[in-house]
Amino acid sequence: MPQTEVIAQEAIADGVYRMVFRAPVDLKKNGYAPGQFWHIRVTDSFDFTLRRPLSLCQADLDNNTVTVVYRAQGEGTRRIAAKRPGDALDVLGPLGRGFSVHDGDGRVLLVGGGIGVPPLLELAHQLAAHGIRALAILGFQTASQAVLLDDFAPYAEVIVVTDDGTLGERGRVTDFLQPERLQGVVRYYACGPTPMLKAVKDVLAVRGLPGYLSLEERMGCGIGLCAGCVHKIARDGVVRPLKTCREGPVFPAAEVVFA
């Protein structure tokens, strides 16, 4: 049953919220992967016809709760941000295919941009649990937008980058992908705006590094009914628009076709 409840809600940066809710399924039994998402209904009427997809940021197995971190930008996410502990929440998930952790990887790279950073936290956590070292290059527009830096610290070596240099390095995440930094890195995982994903893929493809991209397409249903969320994917020799809500949102970078 999708009906669950909000456990905690707090603003953690300028317009960015962290919400904890009781998982709508038994996380242990059901299983879940970093990079999967939750599809959250905005209100209990049908005025908001579309749910809002938010990525798993952290899972707490002991309490069977989930954390999402999101920017309240439009009408829907603002309504979600107005929900208080104890309020009912209609959530579907965990949905889609997330990031795969490859046992035996020595060192991997995480690249996050803006609100693409939160989904990498659960990944960092799981990588650490598998004994895989991670370098996380986390980019934000400006210092007041930066989130979760302390949370990453236990699991990854972190490089913070801001467009305006108000925190960490000044520049874009792609400015920090020099070979000397990526020593020993065998795989990468990226989540962020499409232009960033494309740039990251282009730079790292040249080095022959395999990786995963988490795509962000507007979703209708989130569960494979509408074909609203497709992205062109090259697989088995053909390029087809695949549903990112079912086959993704995470795809092997090599398969993702950018226009």
Ligand X SMILES: Cc1cc2nc3c(=O)[nH]c(=O)nc-3n(C[C@H](O)[C@H](O)[C@H](O)COP(=O)(O)O)c2cc1C
| Site mask for ligand X (CB under 6 A), range 227-256, x = bound | -x----------------------------
Contact 148, 117 (CB under 8 A): yes
Contact 92, 2 (CB under 8 A): yes
Residues 6 or more apart whose CB falls under 8 angstroms from that of 93 comprise 24, 25, 36, 37, 38, 39, 56
Instruction: Write down the residue that tokens 């795509």 correspond to.
Output: 215
| Site mask for a copy of itself (CB under 8 A), range 44-73, x = bound | -x-x--------------------------
Query: Helices marked H in 82-215 — which ranges?
Result: 119-129, 149-152, 194-206
DSSP state of 59: E
Before 195, cis peptide (omega within 30)?
Answer: no
| Site mask for other proteins (CB under 8 A), range 68-107, x = bound | --------x-------------x-x---------------
Minimum Å distance from CB 188 to a copy of itself?
Answer: 42
Among 4, 35, 51, 134, binds other proteins (CB under 8 A): 51
Q: Enumerate residues 174-233 that contact other proteins by CB under 8 A.
A: 217-231
Minimum Å distance from CB 169 to ligand FAD?
Answer: 23
Query: Which option in ligand FAD, a copy of itself, ligand FES, none does residue 47 bind, with CB closer than 5 to 8 A by kind?
Result: a copy of itself
**Residue 86 engages a copy of itself in binding (rule: CB under 8 A):** no
Tokens of 51: 């749910």
Q: Are strands 3-13 and 88-95 parallel, antiparallel or unpaired?
A: antiparallel
Q: Footprint of ligand FAD on this chain (CB under 6 A)?
A: 37, 50, 52-55, 68-71, 73-77, 115, 118-119, 216-219, 249
